[in-house]
Amino acid sequence: MQDVKYVKPKSLQEAVRILQESGPTARVLAGGTDIIVMARERRRDTSLFVDIKAIPEMMGISFDPQSGLTLGAARPLYQLYRDEMMRRVYPALVDSASLIGGTAIQGRASLGGNLCNAGPAGDSIPSIIAMEGTANIIGPNGERQVKAEEFCTGPGRNVLQPGEIVVSLHFPAPRPNSSARFLRFIPRNEMDIAVVNCATNLTLEGNTVTHARMAIGAVAATPLFVPAAGAALEGKPLTDETIAAAANASRDAATPIDDMRGSIRQRKHLAYVLAERTIRDAVHRIRGEATEYH
For 64-75, the pLDDT digits (tens) are 999 999 999 999
Domain boundaries, the chain: 5-51, 57-171, 178-286
Beta bridge partners of 201: 180, 213
For 197-243, the pLDDT digits (tens) are 999 999 999 999 999 999 999 999 999 999 999 999 999 999 999 99
- CA 58, distance to chain mean position in Å, is 16
Please identify, in words, the CATH class of the domain defined by 57-171: alpha beta
Which pLDDT band holds residue 189 (cuts at 50, 70, 90)?
A: low
User: Do residues 83 and 61 make contact, with C-beta atoms less than 8 angstroms apart?
Assistant: yes
User: Do residues 73 and 58 make contact, with C-beta atoms less than 8 angstroms apart?
Assistant: yes
* CA dist., res. 222 & res. 201, Å (int): 19
Predicted local distance difference test score (pLDDT) of residue 293: 56
User: Do residues 150 and 159 make contact, with C-beta atoms less than 8 angstroms apart?
Assistant: yes
C-alpha atoms less than 13 angstroms from C-alpha of 268 in its C-beta half-sphere? 10
Which pLDDT band holds residue 190 (cuts at 50, 70, 90)?
A: low
* CA dist., res. 282 & res. 21, Å (int): 46
* CA dist., res. 59 & res. 38, Å (int): 24
User: Do residues 166 and 116 make contact, with C-beta atoms less than 8 angstroms apart?
Assistant: yes
Pairing of strands 165-171, 134-139: antiparallel
Angle at CA of residue 199, ends 113 and 215, nearest 5°: 80
Domain spanning 178-286: CATH superfamily: CO dehydrogenase flavoprotein, C-terminal domain (3.30.390.50)
User: Do residues 39 and 2 make contact, with C-beta atoms less than 8 angstroms apart?
Assistant: yes
Predicted local distance difference test score (pLDDT) of residue 47: 86
Average pLDDT score, the chain: 93
State which fold the 5-51 domain adopts: 3.30.43
**pTM given for the model:** 0.94
For 95-141, the pLDDT digits (tens) are 999 999 888 889 989 999 999 999 999 999 999 999 999 999 999 99
